Amino acid sequence: MDQPPKALPQGKGLAMSPGALAGLKVIDLTRVLGGPYCTMILSDHGAEVIKVEPPQGDEVRDWGPPFLGDDASYFLGINRNKRSIGLDLGKPAGRKILLRMLEGADILVENFKPGGMEKWGLGYEADLAPKFPSLIHCRVSGFGAEGPLGGLPGYDAILQAFTGLMSINGDPTTGPMRMGTPVVDLATGLYSVIAILMALHERKTSGLGQYLDMTLHDCGMALLHPQAANFFLSGKRPLPMGNPHPNLAPYEKYPTKTCEIFVASGNDGQFTKMCEALGKPELGRDPRFIKNADRLVNRPALMAEFAPLLADQDGHELCIKLLKMGLPAGPVLFVDQSMAAPHTDVRQMVTELDGYRGLGTPIKLSRTPGGTRRKPPRYSEHADEVLGEFGFHADEIAEMRRDGILHDVRKK
């Protein structure tokens, strides 16, 4: 007799295929944000990610409220689709277990300070590459190992300050400001995924892994566009401008009857068309505004002309009208409004599974779509399951617990 079909999991933004990275095994020793964000992206697309946590656990489990059970939103947002095991790598027996896990791994991601893995006899060149020649070892650190800042710890806001990103955020009245999203950590996670995929591609030819030296410093600096390009050409220090763009006008936020909106003009033709759409075509022929360079010089006058054209409009309706004409415009939504927007739902950018809600994957693949497969793991939730897969027997696992190598409860 045929078995009844297995019910599909209920939720949104779920993975409906094994994923483009199915078959890859990732050992994840990272904590906090940049590294875990990297490994979540890999896991969204089918890579098997085993999160090896220290006895104290990943500290962002405590970065709340809000909490779901014992885990803070900060942890939940970047750790889905992973399995967790609590292991003390500070002890030789813990490192021995890790080495067995690496025997079947494709990728190791860690964010210990430079020298930490080497101190344990787990450095790439001397220790891991000879044992596991095909292993890709990605290290995420603040500044790297060399240079005046080599080996120092890195934190998102500190790197925003170091790299100049903070100096271009804010406006002339506020001075430099931290960006509201941890852009350096997130960018480092993204760049690390790119580096891993490059190394995987090259491995198909060489058969060899390699060491990926990813730093918050370098990735933060890589985000300085167009400010760095402007500086290289002009020699002038970029300063915080608030909402305006250093190279384009109009590129501003304006109030309307219903909401604030942002309008932008990428070229002279768009500006002329926008003036026509707003019922004042003569602005597009005004000598002060004909070319983008003219509009930049005369930005205050341009803002004064544009503001009255928008003040009595329904901002939401106007933005849709302008977008349908190919003109850049958008309402300034709050986060709760963005999450509830109909287009967010259609694009499955909020994912849900069994009480878990998070941001969906932005990477949409036609044949091998990724998405949510597992809720973020509780601390060491999968210890027995994972160790069993690596050939450890129940009595060995029990001994690990007795010896304080394997942890089921976070050490406070």
Residue 295 sits in the same domain as residue 389: no
In a shared domain, residues 29 and 106 = yes
32, 139: one domain: yes
Do 214 and 67 lie in one domain? The reply is: yes
What is the value of pTM for the model shown? Answer: 0.94
Backbone CA torsion sign across 126, 53, 197, 180: negative
**Among 248, 249, 203, which residue's Cα sits nearest to residue 226?**
248
Identify whether 346 is part of a domain.
Answer: no
Q: In the chain, which stretches have pLDDT less than 50? A: 1-5
Per the CB < 8 A criterion, the answer to whether 191 and 212 are in contact is: no
Q: Which of 297, 332, 367 is the last residue of a domain?
A: 332
In-domain check, residue 1:
no
CATH of the domain at 144: 3.40.50.10540
In a domain, 219, yes or no: yes
Clarify whether residues 283 and 217 are in a common domain: no
Same domain, yes or no: 213 and 166: yes
For residue 158, the model assigns a pLDDT of: 97
* Residue 217 and residue 144 share a domain: yes
Q: Kindly state whether residues 271 and 193 are assigned to the same domain.
A: no
Whether 310 and 374 share a structural domain:
no
Question: What pLDDT is attached to residue 283?
Answer: 95
Q: State the Cα–Cα distance between residues 386 and 195, nearest whole angstrom.
A: 27
pLDDT of residue 1: 36
Integer Cα distance of 158 and 322 in angstroms: 39
Question: Active site includes 58?
Answer: no
89 located within any domain: yes
Based on the fold, state whether residues 394 and 309 are members of the same structural domain: no
Catalytic choice (28, 185, 336, 408):
185
Determine the pLDDT at residue 10: 73
Distance CA 52, CA 39 (A): 12
Show the domain range for 22.
11-224+351-407
Q: Do 60 and 26 share a domain, yes or no?
A: yes
Q: What's the pLDDT score for residue 71?
A: 97
Structural domain total, the chain: 2
Q: What is the pLDDT of residues 101-120, one digit of tens each?
A: 999 999 999 999 999 999 99
